[in-house]
């Protein structure tokens, strides 16, 4: 096979679709649909470990994700911006990323996992809180 070339799209094109078109189409169902769409993406693009999350998020143009802290039944991730791609904190719904994180973690741990989103607008980042139940195996 030949060398794989990385294609890039201007962030403006991505933002038009992500922040305006999807919002118009999905309306009041945007958050729920995007969460389930994120879970579907995680099933189509499975990661073997949480260490792969940063490179996937960067390649997907979602931003820079870092693990803030982790305990036995939850983890906190922070999503920040890159120079090439800015996060539109005020207008964007981050439930796509939340669903993706929830499904990846659920598959890796084998137990029921949910993800919650908190926008920190003053500091321009998003915090994802993943919670799992070790007693609820899937």
- Check which CATH number belongs to the domain holding 89 and give it: 3.30.1380.20
d(CA 77, CA 127): 6
Question: Is residue 130 in some structural domain?
Answer: yes
What is the reported pTM? Answer: 0.89
Q: Which domain holds residue 83?
A: 11-137
Residue 91 in contact with residue 40, Cβ under 8 Å? no
58 domain residue, yes or no = yes
Q: Which residue has the higher pLDDT, 131 or 89?
A: 131
Helix, strand and coil content of the chain, in percent to the nearest 5, comes to 45, 25, 30
- 91 within domain boundaries: yes
In the chain, the number of structural domains is 1
Is 5 a domain residue?
no
The mean of the pLDDT values for the chain is: 90
Confidence of residue 126 (pLDDT cuts 50, 70, 90): very high
Is the pLDDT score of 1 beyond 50? no
pLDDT in tens, 64-113: 999 999 999 999 999 998 665 666 788 889 999 999 999 999 999 999 99
Higher pLDDT, 13 or 34: 34
């Amino acid at each position: 096979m030949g060398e794989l070339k990385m294609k890039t799209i201007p962030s403006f094109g991505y933002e038009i679709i992500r922040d305006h078109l999807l919002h118009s189409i999905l309306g009041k169902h945007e958050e729920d649909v995007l969460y389930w769409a994120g879970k579907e993406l995680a099933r189509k693009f499975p990661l073997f470990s949480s260490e792969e999350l940063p490179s996937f998020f960067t390649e997907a143009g979602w931003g820079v994700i870092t693990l803030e802290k982790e305990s036995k039944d939850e983890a906190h991730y922070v999503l920040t911006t890159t120079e090439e791609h800015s996060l539109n904190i005020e207008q964007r719904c981050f439930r796509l990323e939340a669903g993706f994180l929830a499904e990846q973690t659920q598959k890796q741990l084998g137990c029921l996992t949910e993800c919650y989103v908190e926008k920190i607008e003053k500091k321009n980042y998003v915090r994802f809180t993943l919670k799992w139940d070790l007693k609820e195996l899937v």
